[in-house]
Chain A
Amino acid sequence: GENVEQHPSTLSVQEGDSAVIKCTYSDSASNYFPWYKQELGKRPQLIIDIRSNVGEKKDQRIAVTLNKTAKHFSLHITETQPEDSAVYFCAASISGTASKLTFGTGTRLQVTL
């Protein structure tokens, strides 16, 4: 089955700096890559996703890049703010009937003042 590795496990940045979280996946057939943000004690919430037919997607301060050849994708957060502090999860899946999301182990991002 699919295996998703995520790095780093913790990341501390100063407010205003950029943060980058990287994930690699094992199954070359994977074609959907969402990112979830989970604040302490809350549910995971989708913040951005990318499909394999594009290499980059942006939404305000958040961007995701995908390198299908190398089988890795990354989350970029620019101009970080304290409210960006949370755990971020990447995931991967193969489209099709009953496709299942496989999650990375998460990155705890701390934005310091």
Chain B
Amino acid sequence: NAGVTQTPKFQVLKTGQSMTLQCAQDMNHEYMSWYRQDPGMGLRLIHYSVGAGITDQGEVPNGYNVSRSTTEDFPLRLLSAAPSQTSVYFCATRRTASSNQPQHFGDGTRLSIL
């Protein structure tokens, strides 16, 4: 049981490049989400999904796309990378869409945009 798996762990991009951050879970959790973590700003929600085929925007969605074709996977796409997207990205899941349950985080992807 791997929990929440994020790939890659590190990535360096040039401005304007695109890429996909992968998140996979093997816990059959309904809810999956992406956060970015920047110094002094905590964890900010980018996008989330309450089940396969359903996604919605969080607090800071601009510049990012998501899709949820399966329960297990929730990739985050950067369409045209910008230096402001340099951050650590965390995927988090919980068992159901409703709250009052622990969220489980992946190990993170450290992304640098030059």
Does B associate with A? yes
Q: Which residues of A contact B (CB under 8 A)?
A: 1, 6, 9, 31-32, 34, 42-46, 49, 51, 89, 93-106
Residue in B58, B98, B106 whose beta carbon sits within 8 Å of that of A95 in the complex: B98
* Closest beta carbon of chain A to B43's beta carbon, Å: 4
Q: How far is the CA of A66 from the CA of B59 in the complex (A)?
A: 25
Asked if B73 is at the interface of the complex by the 8 Å CB criterion, the answer is: no
Chain B contacts with A in 80-114, Cβ cutoff 8 A: 90, 97-100, 102-103, 105-108
CA distance A89 to B44 in the complex (A): 12
B42 on interface, CB distance cutoff 8 Å: yes
Interchain Cβ contacts within 8 Å, total number: 64
Partner of A44, one of B43, B48, B50, B56: B43
Name the prevailing secondary structure of the B interface residues: loop
The A interface, classified by DSSP as helix, strand, loop or mixed, is loop
Q: What are 29 of the A-B contact pairs (CB < 8 Å)? A: A1-B59, A6-B42, A9-B40, A31-B99, A34-B103, A43-B90, A43-B105, A44-B43, A44-B105, A45-B105, A46-B102, A49-B102, A51-B100, A94-B99, A95-B99, A97-B50, A97-B98, A98-B31, A98-B48, A98-B56, A98-B97, A99-B98, A99-B99, A100-B48, A101-B99, A102-B59, A103-B35, A105-B40, A105-B42
- Report the Cα distance A86→B86, complex, angstroms: 22
> Which 8 residue pairs are nearest across A and B when measured between Cβ atoms?
A99-B99, A95-B99, A43-B105, A103-B42, A105-B42, A103-B43, A93-B99, A32-B100
